[in-house]
Structure 1
Amino acid sequence: MKKRIAVIVPVSVFEPAETLVNSARHLRSLDFGDFEFTILYAFDGDESDERVKLLRREGVDVLARNTRRGKRAGAINDAIRHLKKFKPDLVAIFDADSRPERDFVLRCAGRVERDVYISSTVRKVSNPYTLIARAVELEYRLIGFLLKVSGFRQFNGLIGVLNFRHLERYGLSEDALTEDADFATRMHALGFRAELAEGCVYEQSPVTISDFYSQRKRWYYGGLELWRYLDRVLPSGNPHFVTSWLSALTLTYFPILYLPFVLLSLPALLALYGKDGVLVYAGMILYAVTLQIASFSAMLNFLRREGVEWKAMTRVE
């Protein structure tokens, strides 16, 4: 009997039609090998939305939720329930802007074992057109290195291939602002592993300061919510995970401390990017300052219990 894999793409009401059509065409072109597969877009809108019709014309399934309950986490949870009849062994999760390499699914699927809840690859920026996007491109290089050595491998958006049973049993927290980091923390604390496979998946970076600030403020706020799992993390019996988790929730909140290293990085950036190194250098300074403001703002909101608004990000096709 063939193994089955379901592809889930959660879709907010803000996603442009062009991005969704390009997404469906790209995902249908992936190599699924001998897997029996289905591609499901879990859509926050209703059946009357023109984007639902456009997606179905591309040969993919659409679950029109007619609600924004739980936002991204709610969309994925609803998709998991919708897929019970299909009975997938594995689930691949992507965002509307995800452009994985053609063999991404097969590379990652081969790494998902009983104690592995997710397998994914490093990320690369598909739209390095602005100062901040170029800085994020460099950030992804650093994250790629950290994923190789960290005991807490957290793939943003849970973009990768996951064990369906784990997703079905534990589910995503619809109250968590960063459901991906929340799920990763719970799974690591239970003793499950995240595997890094070869290859990459391209995705869009924020291209404006406003989008970047809003995204990172939400991420920082979501990270502060993770401290509620401290009593699960510390007894996990995995010191490598505990150290990496604590570092992620402390050191990353003070990027201004690394600004002197950024200021001294111009020669290295020129060697790496050539004449574009100057632009990347300026972007890195802007990046570090914006990150610190976002961090302090998130901490202030958290202390005041004010929450953080989830805003749409500008897409560049």
Structure 2
Amino acid sequence: MRKRIAVIIPVSVFEPAETLRDCAEYLNNLDFGEMECRIVFSFDGDESDDRVRMLRKYGFLVLARNTRRGKRAGAINDALDHLVKFKPDFVAILDVDSRPERGVIPRCAEAVGDGIFIASARRRISNPVNSTTRAVEFEYRLIGYLLKHSGFRQFNGLIGVLDGSILFRHRLNEDALTEDADFSTRMHCLGLKAELVDGFFYEQSPLTWRDFFEQRKRWYYGGLELWKYLPDVLKSGNVGFITSWISALTLTFFPSLFIPFILLSLPSLLVYYGKDGFETFSGFIVYSLVLQAASISAIFNFLRNKGVEWKAVKRMEQLKS
């Protein structure tokens, strides 16, 4: 019997029609191997939105939620409710700017099971056009290396392929600001693991330092919320997981400590980027300072129980596949 895979793409009301059209065309040509596939766009808008009608013309199931309840987590959970009868063995979660390499989705599906709750691949930036995006591109390369050696593998956005039975059973926490890190923490506490396969998922980086600041402030705030799981993390008894989890929630909050290493990187950057080396170098300095500011701002908001607003991120019209 053919395995079934559902692809869920949560869609914010802020997403431009051109980005959604680009995403739909890419998905129509994506390789799912021998699996039976159903693609669902879970849209925060209502039935009257032209973007909903446009996506349906591509033959996809479009769930018009008419609410922002639970933000991204709510959109994914609502999509799961509509997929109960389909009974997918796997659920792939993608963002509108996700561009998985050909063959990556089937490889991820093959890796899931036997205690593996999610499989994903390394991330690459599809829009390295300025100092902001180049800094994030370098960061993603570093994260890809660290994930190979980490006892706590957290894939941003849960972009990848998940075990359908596990996701349907545990679902996403709609009260968590970073539902992906929340879910990953809970699954690791249960003794489940995440697998990294060969290949890449391309996605867009924030184009401006302002968007980058707002994104990372939200990520930092979500990280602070995770400390409530500390007793469960310690009870897991998995030293590798415990060490990696605590490190992720402490060391990352002090990025300015790494500025001396950035200063030493200038010769290498000039060799690698050529004439863009100085711009990239200055971008790394700004990157560290913006991250530090986002960390401090998130901590300040957390202590005041103020929360963090989920804001729109500017997209480029076209992505390279």
For 2:187, the equivalent position in structure 1 comes to 187
For 1:126, the equivalent position in structure 2 comes to 126
Cα displacement (A) at 1:274: 2.2
SS of 2:59's equivalent in the other structure is coil
Cα displacement (A) at 1:272: 2.1
How far apart are the structure 1 equivalents of 2:163 and 2:133? 32
Bigger mean CA deviation after superposition, 189-198 or 267-276:
267-276
For 2:297, the equivalent position in structure 1 comes to 297
Identity over the aligned pairs, expressed in percent?
Answer: 66
How far apart are the structure 1 equivalents of 2:114 and 2:162? 11
Pair 1:112-2:112 in alignment = yes
Bigger mean CA deviation after superposition, 115-124 or 105-114:
105-114
* Structure 2: gaps spanning 5 or more residues: none
Post-superposition Cα deviations, 1:141-197, rounded to whole Å, max 9, x if no partner, equal 100101110010000000000001111111100000000000000000100000000
Taking structure 1 as the reference length, what is the TM-score of the superposition? 0.99
Pair 1:209-2:209 in alignment = yes
C-alpha contact 1:32 1:106 (8 A) present in aligned 2: yes
For 2:248, the equivalent position in structure 1 comes to 248
For 2:287, the equivalent position in structure 1 comes to 287
For 1:171, the equivalent position in structure 2 comes to 171
Post-superposition Cα deviations, 1:84-125, rounded to whole Å, max 9, x if no partner, equal 011100000000010111111111111001311000000000
How far apart are the structure 1 equivalents of 2:150 and 2:217? 23
Task: List aligned pairs for 1:1-317, cutoff 5 A.
Answer: 1-317=1-317
Cα displacement (A) at 1:129: 1.2
Post-superposition Cα deviations, 1:216-274, rounded to whole Å, max 9, x if no partner, equal 00000000000000010011011000000000000000001111111111011122222
How far apart are the structure 1 equivalents of 2:308 and 2:219? 10
SS of 1:107's equivalent in the other structure is helix
How far apart are the structure 1 equivalents of 2:111 and 2:285? 38
Cα displacement (A) at 1:2: 0.9
How far apart are the structure 2 equivalents of 1:179 and 1:164? 17
Post-superposition Cα deviations, 1:12-63, rounded to whole Å, max 9, x if no partner, equal 0000111111111111211111101011000001111000011011221101
SS of 2:284's equivalent in the other structure is helix
Q: Which amino acid aligns with 2:14?
A: F
SS of 1:85's equivalent in the other structure is coil
* Structure 1: gaps spanning 5 or more residues: none
How far apart are the structure 2 equivalents of 1:264 and 1:133? 21
How far apart are the structure 1 equivalents of 2:227 and 2:158? 20
Q: Which amino acid aligns with 2:154?
A: Q
C-alpha contact 1:10 1:43 (8 A) present in aligned 2: yes
Cα displacement (A) at 1:275: 2.1
Q: Which amino acid aligns with 1:235?
A: K
Q: Which amino acid aligns with 1:48?
A: S
SS of 1:62's equivalent in the other structure is strand
C-alpha contact 1:21 1:58 (8 A) present in aligned 2: no
Q: Which amino acid aligns with 2:98?
A: S
How far apart are the structure 1 equivalents of 2:268 and 2:247? 26
SS of 2:123's equivalent in the other structure is strand
C-alpha contact 1:176 1:182 (8 A) present in aligned 2: yes
How far apart are the structure 2 equivalents of 1:220 and 1:250? 10
How far apart are the structure 2 equivalents of 1:194 and 1:277? 35
Bigger mean CA deviation after superposition, 273-282 or 185-194:
273-282
